[in-house]
Amino acid sequence: MIMDREELIRKYHKESLSTEETMEFSKLIKTDEDFKAKFEDYANFNKAFKANEAEHLKNFLRDLDSKEVKQLWYKKPVFYYAAAAVLVIALCVPLFTKTSTNKLYNNFYEAYPNVEQPIVRGSNKNVSYDAFLNYENANYNKSAKLFKSLLESSENPNYRFYYAMALLNDSKYNKALEELTILENKTFDYHDETLWYSALILIKQEKFELAKSKLLQLEKTNSEFKSKERQLLLDKL
């Protein structure tokens, strides 16, 4: 049985090809120019995505380091400063908490890219193609409707994950969390990402203990996904 060529390319990059699939891949890369072009497009996309993630993390850590000097004011040993601080905190905690929560969420959140079905030349145009095309173009509302349509005929967890991401990028946090919760106990390609984005939504909702439990679940997987960021986030919760 001949595997779908895009699936063959995805499995190659995930290092999950069987012996038979490896033989088929080797044959196609040598004899089929269209397949080779698709493979190179996908490889370039993955390379660009990884480089962008590394740059984003480097900039984030640099910005974090630059903020460490702001603690000096609190070291003055004057009693009335402490008394005044208690009063100010008592009056401002609700506003401060909400502002801090949103800032924390925004510091760590970034839209997850389409690495499931990159839009490359020669791809078959169908509902799946349109869903991912709209996702890549940030048409999240339309993308969510298309993914929902796909899920009516296929319980593909990868579709559900991107449905959740489309909802999240469209600021539909409760609905996105509902979809991610469905996926938490499934073994599939984006399980680690599911826990990470669930934690971020819970932080935005100020459910810090639940968010922490998601991050600790992610820690137990020994995944490299967002390993530095999740440790920084755990330190803040």
In tens, the pLDDT along 120-160 reads 766 678 999 999 999 999 999 999 999 999 999 999 999 99
Nearest to 123 by CA among 41, 55, 234: 41
Is residue 160 in a domain?
yes
Cα 66 from chain centroid?
Answer: 26
pTM, entire model:
0.64
CA-to-CA separations, 14 to 8, 61, 126, 133, 226, in angstroms, rounded:
10, 28, 24, 22, 18
Is residue 29 in a domain?
yes
**Same-domain pairing of 142 and 210:** yes
**Same-domain pairing of 62 and 155:** no
Name residues of the chain where pLDDT drops below 50.
1-2, 69, 71-76, 78-81, 83, 86-96
Domain count, the chain: 2
The boundaries of the domain holding residue 178 are 127-236
CATH number at residue 180: 1.25.40.10
- Asked if residues 211 and 237 have their Cβ atoms less than 8 Å apart, the reply is yes
- Asked if residues 228 and 61 have their Cβ atoms less than 8 Å apart, the reply is yes
Last residue of a domain, one of 23, 49, 68: 68
CA distance 83 to 31: 78
**Same-domain pairing of 58 and 133:** no
Is residue 121 in a domain?
no
Last residue of a domain, one of 68, 85, 114: 68
